[in-house]
Amino acid sequence: MATVMSNKKVADGIGLLEVESSQGGKPGQFYMLRAWDQYPLLSRPISIFDVTEDRILFLYQIVGEGTRRFYELRPGDDLQIEGPFGNGFPEVKGSLALVGGGIGIAPLYYMAKKVTDADVYLGFSKEAYLTEEFRNVSKELHIRVGGTVLEQIDFKDYGTVIACGPHGMLKAVQQMQEVIGQPNHVYVSLENRMACGIGACLVCSVKCKDGRKKACTDGPVFPVEEVVFND
């Protein structure tokens, strides 16, 4: 159990939750969060936004009952957190681009903070948020509101590209990577539905070129050329 230290609105329907914990984690890993006893049934997977010595921060978008309950949390409330889970982001080779669409920006801040020299590309549908925070940890920060941020990046300029965002954006990332053809260069972080978070239920199954994998334990980060995206 962790104690909520703060829970701030950073944009319409977007909250930043800070909890007291020294469990830490690597960039790209996630926690299973639960702010209720029985309903909803399952804990919800949320990426690590940032870690300090005694704090973990989570950036979340309200989409349903679970995330709405997170929004209602107040300082001093208890929150059940289990983790960190998942493989996290890979070792970076050469220059790094971090590409986030919508709430897919959530796992990128901690990575940018750790590596310090990443170019960061953030795409928002309506309203940009946390831009100063990202600017402070990026070599170059590129923001796009509306349209696709992918138009602003040339994958050939980077040794490693890491992307997180909606399904359509990640599929477009795969098409861009196919033009380059260099394996293990572009990675995507998948946000499949999850139930257990520890490899026991198969709810998070990902179709890959060499069979099915589990987003929670084999991922959530995969080389983009491995993933078979549905239409």
Ligand X SMILES: Cc1cc2nc3c(=O)[nH]c(=O)nc-3n(C[C@H](O)[C@H](O)[C@H](O)COP(=O)(O)OP(=O)(O)OC[C@H]3O[C@@H](n4cnc5c(N)ncnc54)[C@H](O)[C@@H]3O)c2cc1C
Binding site for ligand FES (CB under 6 A): 194-197, 199-204, 214, 216
Q: For ligand FES, give the closer residue by CB, 23 or 192.
A: 192
109 binds ligand X per the rule CB under 6 A: no
Radius of gyration of the chain (CA): 17
218 binds ligand X per the rule CB under 6 A: no
Q: Which stretch binds ligand X (CB under 6 A): 37-45, 118-126, 127-135, 222-230?
A: 37-45
Q: Which stretch binds ligand X (CB under 6 A): 75-83, 93-101, 173-181, 191-199?
A: 191-199
63 binds ligand X per the rule CB under 6 A: yes
What sign does the dihedral 183-217-215-122 (CA atoms) show? Answer: negative
Torsion over CA of 112, 125, 33 and 197, rounded to 10 degrees? -80
Of these, 27, 88, 123, 220, which contacts ligand X (CB under 6 A)? 220
Residue 65 interacting entry, from ligand FES, ligand X, none, C-beta within 5 to 8 Å by type:
ligand X
Q: Which residue has the tokens 């690590």?
A: 48
Residue 61 interacting entry, from ligand FES, ligand X, none, C-beta within 5 to 8 Å by type:
ligand X
Residue 148 interacting entry, from ligand FES, ligand X, none, C-beta within 5 to 8 Å by type:
none
Helix (H, G, I), strand (E, B) or coil at 175: helix
Alpha-helical runs (H) found in the chain: 65-71, 108-115, 131-135, 167-180
**What is the phi/psi pair of residue 101, to 5°?**
-120, 130
